[in-house]
Amino acid sequence: MTTKKPAVAVYKFSSCDGCQLSILNMEDELLNLAEAIDIAFFLEATRAQKPGPYDIALVEGSITTPHEIERIREVRANAKVVIALGTCATAGGIQALRNFASAEEYAKVVYAHPEYLHYLQTATPIAEHIQVDMELWGCPVNKAQVIEVIVALLNNRRPNLPPHSVCLECKRRGTPCVIVDKGIPCIGPATQAGCGAICPAMGRGCYGCFGPARDVNTDAMANMLLKMERYPGETARLFRGISGYAPTFRTIVDEILPANEEAK
């Protein structure tokens, strides 16, 4: 007698496909996972698909169109567990930059016939439209964290994810602090770990792609960076990056902008 394997579905909304590619880049690990789960729906990998309901839904991308609101509600109704995969799904991603300006003006600049477009005024995380059971940040998501979450769900335990900021990852790699050593603005102290401190290792500041870290005095961090600015509005631009629509970073920008009009 065989036990039915949990069915997993992977969905894409408004995004670049980078988080799905992170899953595909697991290679050997993905083959091992396939022994424990049934990858029932994953259009990035194969056109073959099995109907739901699914045990786990991994969702990449933000919600930017009326149709996507309908789709994400269908995903929620068809899955026991929904995981927001990557910064687009958790905070709106880079496309959420339009939330700070006029979507119509952007459309006019980019498209010859913007009247043909059907879009929302804002790009939002999926949690603004449905209940999300778990969030995995990153641009792209850390594939090791994806594996950890799936294995944890299969074993009915809490995932073991890093609780610290990017600063600890710098220390682990032996990377000198770019703020102290080079005077380069960096929001690594306020950013959740997971990337391996790639940017500081290359001599540039972190720009927060893994989202806000927990239990961090972000206000103090922002005030320190304001004193280091190399041009007006630099701090606001740092926080208004890939994770800029995350509530913690958005609040910082709202507080900084009145004194940094050039960042608009």
Domain-wise residue ranges, the chain: 7-154, 166-263
Backbone CA torsion sign across 248, 236, 225, 90: positive
Assign 1 a pLDDT band (cuts: 50, 70, 90). very low
- Four-point Cα dihedral 221, 227, 233, 234, nearest 10: -70
pLDDT digits (tens, 9 = 90+) for 37-81: 999 999 999 888 999 899 999 999 999 999 999 999 999 999 999
What pLDDT does residue 263 have?
Answer: 47
What pLDDT does residue 143 have?
Answer: 92
- Taking the C-alpha atoms of residue 168 and residue 150, their distance in angstroms, rounded to an integer, is 25
What pLDDT does residue 101 have?
Answer: 86
pLDDT digits (tens, 9 = 90+) for 73-119: 999 999 999 999 999 999 999 999 989 888 888 888 889 998 898 99
Q: Which residues are CB-contacts of 54 (< 8 A; sequence separation ≥ 6)?
A: 7, 8, 9, 40, 41, 78, 79, 80
Q: From its phi and psi, is residue 9 left (phi > 0), alpha (psi between -120 and 50) or beta?
A: beta
Rounded average pLDDT over 251-256: 83
What pLDDT does residue 48 have?
Answer: 87
Rounded average pLDDT over 18-46: 91
Token pair in block for residue 60: 């990449």
What pLDDT does residue 259 have?
Answer: 53
Rounded average pLDDT over 119-131: 96
Of 22-31, 77-86, 132-141, 166-175, least confident by mean pLDDT is 22-31
- Taking the C-alpha atoms of residue 86 and residue 88, their distance in angstroms, rounded to an integer, is 6
> To the nearest whole percent, how much of the chain has pLDDT over 90?
72
State yes or no: pLDDT of 34 exceeds 90: no
Q: In this structure, how many other beta carbons lie within 10 angstroms of the beta carbon of residue 58? A: 30
Residue among 34, 67, 71 nearest 52 (CA)? 71
Q: Are 202 and 233 in contact (CB under 8 A)?
A: no
Q: Are 23 and 41 in contact (CB under 8 A)?
A: no
Give the CATH number of domain 7-154: 3.40.50.700
What pLDDT does residue 4 have?
Answer: 85
Give the neighbor-by-neighbor strand order of the sheet with 38-42. Answer: 38-42, 7-12, 54-60, 79-85, 134-136
Half-sphere exposure of 216 (CA within 13 A, CB side): 23
State yes or no: pLDDT of 260 exceeds 80: no
Token pair in block for residue 139: 């641009």
Bigger pLDDT: 52 or 133? 133
Q: Chain-wide mean pLDDT for the chain?
A: 91
Of 30-39, 180-189, 194-203, least confident by mean pLDDT is 30-39
Q: Which residues are CB-contacts of 106 (< 8 A; sequence separation ≥ 6)?
A: 98
Residue 53: strand, helix, or coil: coil
Rounded average pLDDT over 247-258: 82
Assign 199 a pLDDT band (cuts: 50, 70, 90). very high
Q: Which residues are CB-contacts of 47 (< 8 A; sequence separation ≥ 6)?
A: none
